[in-house]
Amino acid sequence: MTDDKRRRHSAPVVDGLGKSASRAMLRAVGFTDEDFRKPQVGVASTWSNLTPCNMHIDGLAREAARGADQAGGKSLIFNTITVSDGIANGTEGMKYSLVSREVIADSIETVAGCEGFDGLVAIGGCDKNMPGCVMGLARLNRPSVFVYGGTIQPGENHTDIISVFEAVGAHAQGNMDLIEVKQIEETAIPGPGSCGGMYTANTMASAIEAMGMSLPGSSAQNAVSDTKLADCEAAGAAVLKLLDEDIKPSDIMTRKAFENAITVVIALGGSTNAVLHLLGMASTMGVELSLDDFVQIGKKVPVLADLRPSGHYMMSELVAIGGIQPLMKMLLDRSLLHGDCLTVTGKTLAENLAEVEAYPEGQDIIHAFDNPIKADSHLRILYGNLSPTGAVAKITGKEGTHFTGKARVFHSEEEAQERIMDGTVVAGDVLVIRYEGPKGGPGMREMLTPTSAIMGKGLGSDVALITDGRFSGGSHGFVVGHITPEAAEGGPIALVENGDTITIDAVNNTIELDVTDAELQRRRQNWQAPAPRFTRGVLAKYARTVSSASNGAVTDLP
């Protein structure tokens, strides 16, 4: 057995006479005698041709493998799953989306744990496979680098996937004909890469880079570019350096690193899903993080990026002016980031940023601190008698900061969508979509289809939507999700009735149902938990094991 500490996981699999059978199997996939003496680097690829976000990742995986091999390792590529939120949204299939995060983490842990990889590269390109990859790396706690697959280019006339969703609502309102809708459908997605705004994929890529688990610049590169290929090759090589220095995810994914990630997400105006995923990743790593941490950090960090969905620009345009590194340098210079955090370069965050140049003069994508998009966080954690353990809102200020209206209650996303499209939903309504939480859905579907329909019908400032489900990074408007406890567990959202007055205050961070405690107690006594929607299979297993959204909706809590 070797004393090479870089091979502490692969050596028990391949060293010694007793492992002849293992070596025989590996010779068939290309190993030589020399390869058995090298550290093994697993490359977890989320490639598939079922979505543009991941259709190019097979090529990126090969580049990462080449980088590991050239640096003295022996790479092995394996696949994990991915699903497409953009395709599944508004259907029963969307119930599997958040579930896929856990399946991906499980599968990476399973393959690497079984095969004895010493280090890993994981490459993700869509909403759930990115945190799923990082959660898998965190569980294994072996030297690892995450690589983002990169962003898509804008479609014709500066369109993207959200343009298509909102075109459907515009048609229902009579503001767009079918030919115009089809033109947008045909041209909005021009090729490979993740959805183009500061939606969940670009948000999570930025958060993971800010946390130190990606090489500098990885989160802000075009999917089809020489820089992305170079990033992958460098990631493979970086794993060998991490093995030499015995730097593991637990050394990088510290409490301070998560605070850095939250800070960058807020400055970018990122997705509410970042709350769910950062809580989930922290839980997996054993780092204490709560909803209140988003509140405290949000008090001192402004929104600086004018990016979609609530802003104007796309990620590819931010890439063109330098990506997120100059923004991080700005935040560090204001003492809003912890510069002493270790990263996958083997250097600290401050060392990585030392030579980063400022954004070019005249750009207006990233605002100065004295001219922010919003002076404090757009991610609002709301509490009140409707959500005693917390809810998450994305309020940029463009929607207003207060909303009071009458409840219009739905027991599913589909039911709400029908009533939006047929004109039943009117100005002044607070749409309540319940039994869509992690357990109740199950799977905590995104409400992109109804929020896009609301925007397309011109009701974005006149209607609020609250749910125990969640939202796409592309959702905007006056929306509150992640309401906990969820309806399926008897949370107060289960007790709302049509016509109840609901008040949302995004300044004081409250969400209140104008009903007396006595009336709520009466309704609670009459409430009955619904039967599980699934009794076998992955959705049933998920519903039985998933924690509250306020804990990150993880499935492996002790």
Task: Using alpha carbons, select from 121, 167, 162 the residue that is nearest to residue 143.
Answer: 121
Residue 134, C-beta contacts closer than 8 angstroms, at least 6 positions apart: 122, 146, 208, 213, 253, 281
The string of DSSP letters for 336-365 reads: -S-TT-B-TTSSBHHHHHTTPPPPPTT--S
Q: Which of 97, 107, 219, 472 is catalytic?
A: 472
Structure-token pair, residue 60: 């990126």
Beta carbons within 10 angstroms of residue 528's beta carbon: 7
Classify strands 510-513 and 501-505 as parallel, antiparallel or unpaired.
antiparallel
Report in angstroms the alpha-carbon separations of 176 from 5, 167, 423. Answer: 64, 7, 16
| Residues 307 and 327 sit within 8 Å (Cβ to Cβ) | no
Distance CA 126, CA 81 (A): 11
**Whether residue 472 lies in the annotated active site:** yes
CA distance 475 to 465: 11
| Coil, strand or helix at 554 | coil
Taking the C-alpha atoms of residue 410 and residue 412, their distance in angstroms, rounded to an integer, is: 6
Rounded to whole angstroms, the Cα distance separating 141 from 208 reads 16
Torsions phi, psi for 78 (to 5 deg): -140, 155
> How far is residue 54's CA from residue 537's CA, in Å, rounded to a whole number?
26
Catalytic residue IDs = 472
